[in-house]
């Protein structure tokens, strides 16, 4: 198993990444002192989920665009590689399940 610290030149580089993240996400800062444990990068669930947010938002926007463009759609089937993600399926269900007679199907 390769450790993150083995990939980076030194711990300063990792702390730089942490500082950069914190500057962009002040609402969910990462404590640099807790970012590395035994050479492994550690992060909160919230931080990990934040990496998915741009893709989730784009998927919701595109789904909404299709639902608006094509009236009378009553089922959304979530399939494919990303479709097996609990993060995505939860978001799709939250956004669309039961709204405008839409049913979200997770095969």
* Sequence ranges of the domains in the chain: 4-49, 53-105
pTM of the model: 0.66
Report residue 102 CA to chain centroid gap: 24
Tens of pLDDT along 42-76?
767 777 787 788 899 999 999 999 999 998 999 99
Residue 100 burial (C-beta neighbours within 10 Å; 0-12, 13-18, 19+): exposed
């Amino acid at each position: 198993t390769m450790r993150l610290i083995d990939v980076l030149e030194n711990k300063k580089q990792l702390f730089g990444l942490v500082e950069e993240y914190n500057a962009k996400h002040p609402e969910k800062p990462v404590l640099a002192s807790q970012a590395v444990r035994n050479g492994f990068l550690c992060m909160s669930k919230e931080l990990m989920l934040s990496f998915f947010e741009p893709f989730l938002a784009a998927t919701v926007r595109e789904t909404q665009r299709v639902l608006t463009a094509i009236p009378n759609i009553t089922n959304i089937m979530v399939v494919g590689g990303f479709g097996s993600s609990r993060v995505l399926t939860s978001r799709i269900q939250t956004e669309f399940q039961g709204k405008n007679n839409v049913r979200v199907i997770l095969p």
